[in-house]
Every structure is written in structure tokens, then in C-alpha cells.
Amino acid sequence: MKKYILASLLSILFLTVSCSKEDIDQLPDDATLNDEINVFIWNGLNDYYLWQKDVPALADGNLNNFINENRNAEPENTFDNLLFQPGTVDRFSWIVDDYIALENQFQGISLSNGMEYKLFQNRSGSNGVYGVVYYVVPNSDAATKGVLRGMVFSAINGVQITTTNFRDVLGLDNYTLNLADFNAGNPIINGTTIDLVKEQLQENPISIKKVFNEGSDKIGYLLYNQFASSYDGELNNAFAFFKSENITDLVLDLRYNGGGSVRTATYLASMINGTNTGKIFSQEFWNEKVMKGSDPDIFLNNFTNQIKNTDRDGNVILDEQINSLTLPRIYFIVSDNTASASELVINGMNAYIDVHLVGIKTVGKQVGSITLYDSDNLFKSGANLNTKHTYAMQPIVLEIKNAKGENNANGYAPDIEIAEDFGRTDNTINLGVLGEKSDPLLETTINLIINGLKSSGKSVSAFEEKAFINSKLEVPFSQEMYVEDFRK
């Protein structure tokens, strides 16, 4: 059985890195909980942060000076002040004060009514705002109550949504959605209402799987929305279905997939093409402190023929053969939501088979993170976990490349450029139905498979009006790529 990326990697990292954890000489008697948390923040970033050597305050031996100069600072401020060019170089490091919510988010669990939408300002130029639903989570409150893709709403609880109140009204746990007629971008409330309730919702990321029979082509289609390891078995089952149907081509729809687990990305790549078992899928590049003196092989993620997942105590929770296809090409539907682990699969497969993209340019997130906790070894399983708080960090710790040493921080441009049409081309909304040919992006991809690329290789089929709010991107860690810790 081939090496699995997380168990071996992180166990060795524990031996090579955590021993460097520094202690402050002694926190004074009047030290606050913030001081304790800030010691944890400094240690975690000093050990693992990808740009540690570029931040003078994170230099080895500087813990005492830093803490003494930042007594009782808010942890969020401490964290932000230790990042390297935040917002430009480091766009994706985070700290949270509730690691339970963070862990849930990584498995698709969040407080939600299941309605994903984009907000647009009224075309008239007023401060009025309207929303367009683009996705409804199956079995959610929104799905149960009949919310559909393409619906327009412009008020909550009878109050017009505006550029200043949208977070307040849509942030309520329970609200009444006031539907509207689109009216060429100046919606008019039509009297239809839907009462929605947010609840703890776990989304199955394997949203739609089906096969289209197009003459001699049998085209598999999978709408996949998050690389969540708790659904690895169901992902494998989807490929068992495609295998049984003898598909000739696969459309992998990642337009709403912001990423997730690197290990799950490796499994998915292995499902797409099973002829590469044992070959390099991706390469991780950590900071010099982590990589120095370590076996270079532990930073390689190889294609595998086996899923083997364990829990935090090392117990095996999933052990099964991967259902692999042998596809010589793959088609991805992408958008400006497509990031991190999604881009990793695109990039990793590009080193081995023909890769075609339909949609709009992806985000460009070629870096990944780990979750660090306030314990002796900075992991939740470590000794002396500080139970006085629930802060955790998700700092960027690695850059990831394909087998050829390539990635693209600017995102991946499609072969055929087509945006979802929210009504800015002919004054009507034309989103179609996901998983059906009425969806313009899927129809375009199927046509690409049947007819091939046009001579130009590029085509702009729909003008994209930029929304100023995308509900999916409002959720923390919606575009995360991470490696998991399973050490005792």
C-alpha cells in the first residue's frame, strides 16, 4: 500500500519541528488569557508559517521581546501583525475563536438555511439591492420550502435590502424572503414570500451525478462542492457508478467548490485516472525549518489505489479500494469560486492527461494550511491543550505544485469562457437547471466534448456582471486547502 500523505508527514513533522517550540522566560503574575493565547500564536507561526523567515518578529529567540511589547494584545491583532504582507502575498491565513465551528466547516457543517445567492445593486443606480439564488442545498430548509435556482428576492421581512443593511437582514437566523420579478435589474416585489430557518446543516458535497448518452459518447457528470474527507466513501461510490456505466468522458463541475482536504484531492485524482498509482500527484514545499533534515519523500503526495482514513486517535474509519477510471482527458466546469484543492486537482491532472476548462478564470490559490491549537505540540491531540479558550489558527504553511513543479497563483483560464448569466445580457436571468442541458455551462461542455474546440480556442459566450456579495464566499474558510492531523 502506498504512503498516505498526512499520517506520515505530520508524525515526522512532530519530531522535526515541535521540539523548537520556545517558552517565554515567565509570564508575570498579572498575565492575561490574551497573553497566553499570544504565546501560542507566536510559537505556531514561528514553527510552521510558510513565510516565517520573512517576518522579523518571528525570528527564533524573539518570543520574549515580542510578548513583552504586546502585552494583553487582542489575539486577532497579534495574528494579523505577524503575517507577511497580508492581503497581497498572504491572502489566506486565518485565526478563529471557536475551533469547533472551524472543524465543522471543514466537514460541510454550518448554520444555514441552504440558500446560496449573489447580491446585485439595482440597475437604476439606487442603493436598493436584490438577490438571485444560484444553488440550493438538497434537504435543507430552503429546498424543503421550494426555493429554486434563479429565484429573485429584494426584501427581507418586508424591508428592502440595501447596500447598507444587507448583512443585518440576511444575517438573521429566521426571516421571510420576499420574492420579486426581475424587471431588467430593477426588481418589483410580487407578493410571494417564503419563511426560512437556519439550522446546523451538513451538506453532502456529492450533489449531482448522472450520465448523458450522446451518440457514441457516454458523458459522466458530477457536481462536487467541497473536498470533505467525511464523504470520501460517497465520492468513491460515485466513481463506481461511472465505472459501471462505462463512461467515455467525465465532466467534473467545480464551479462552487472552494477546496478542502489535500488527501481527498489526491483520492479524486486517483479516481479520475488509475494508471498513475505510485506516481507523484503533487509536491508540498514548507518553510525551511520544516523541510530541513526531513526525508524529501514525505512531502510528495502520490496517486493511490486505496482510501484509508483514520480518526484523530488513529482508528481506521474507511479502508477500501478506489474505483478508478482510465480517462485520457477530463473536463472541468470552473468559476471564480473554484479554488485551492479544486485547482490542485486541475493542476495535478494536467501533468498526465488532457485537461479542458469551461467557465471563468479560477481564484489562484496554490497554498495550503494546517490547524494549530494551543497545546504542547500545537495540535489538538497534544498534551496540555489549553481549555481556557477555543482559539485555533489556520496559517498558510505550504505551497503545492504538480509533478512537473508547476502551479499558477493567477488562477487557471478556461478553454471556453462563459459565465453564469444573472440577467445582464438580455434582461432575463438564464441560469438553467444544474445537471441538465438547460444549464448553459454544462451544455457548452457537452458540445465541447462532441464537437471539439473551435479554431480560436477561446469564446466569450456570456457577459459576467460582478456581484458585490456571494453568500458562499461570506463563510470563513470557504476557499481553504488544508492537510489534516491524525497523530495521537
Which tens digit of pLDDT belongs to each residue from 136-190? 999 999 999 999 999 999 999 999 999 999 999 999 999 999 999 999 999 999 9
Pick out the chain residues at pLDDT < 50: 1-19, 455-458, 460, 462, 486-488
Domain presence at residue 190: yes
pLDDT at residue 464 in the model: 56
Give the end of a domain, one of 164, 179, 202. Answer: 202
Whether 228 and 197 share a structural domain: no
pLDDT at residue 10 in the model: 42
Whether 142 and 216 share a structural domain: no
Mean pLDDT score of the chain, rounded to an integer? 90
Distance of CA 172 to the CA centre of its chain: 24
Amino acid at 319: D
Whether 250 and 369 share a structural domain: yes
Which CATH number fits the domain that encloses residue 185?
Answer: 2.30.42.10
Domain presence at residue 57: no
pLDDT at residue 453 in the model: 77
Burial annotation 465-477 (CB, 10 A radius, 16+ → b, else e)? bebebbbbbeeeb
Domain presence at residue 48: no
Give the end of a domain, one of 202, 226, 260. Answer: 202
pLDDT at residue 454 in the model: 61
Domain total of the chain: 2
Sign, CA torsion 166/172/178/180: positive
Angle between helices 262-272 and 341-350 (to 10 degrees): 40
pLDDT at residue 459 in the model: 52
- φ, ψ (nearest 5 deg) of residue 39: -60, -45
pLDDT at residue 22 in the model: 72
Whether 229 and 329 share a structural domain: yes
Whether 145 and 254 share a structural domain: no
Domain presence at residue 95: no
Domain presence at residue 264: yes
Whether 235 and 162 share a structural domain: no
- Residue-number span of the structural domain to which 129 is assigned: 110-202
Strand runs (DSSP E) across 280-403, as ranges? Answer: 280-285, 300-302, 306-310, 316-321, 329-334, 354-359, 367-369, 372-373, 392-394, 396-402
Whether 295 and 357 share a structural domain: yes
Whether 235 and 378 share a structural domain: yes
Whether 300 and 169 share a structural domain: no
List CB contacts of 480: < 8 A, sequence separation 6 or more.
92, 106, 258, 259, 260, 340, 369, 394
Which CATH number fits the domain that encloses residue 254?
Answer: 3.90.226.10
Cell numbers for 77, please give them.
491583532
Whether 294 and 414 share a structural domain: yes
Cell numbers for 411, please give them.
488562477
Tell me which residue has cell 447598507: 164
pLDDT at residue 26 in the model: 64
Whether 198 and 325 share a structural domain: no
Domain presence at residue 18: no
Domain presence at residue 80: no
Which tens digit of pLDDT belongs to each residue from 82-141? 999 999 999 999 999 999 988 988 888 889 999 999 999 999 889 999 999 999 999 999
Domain presence at residue 474: no
Cell numbers for 124, please give them.
437604476
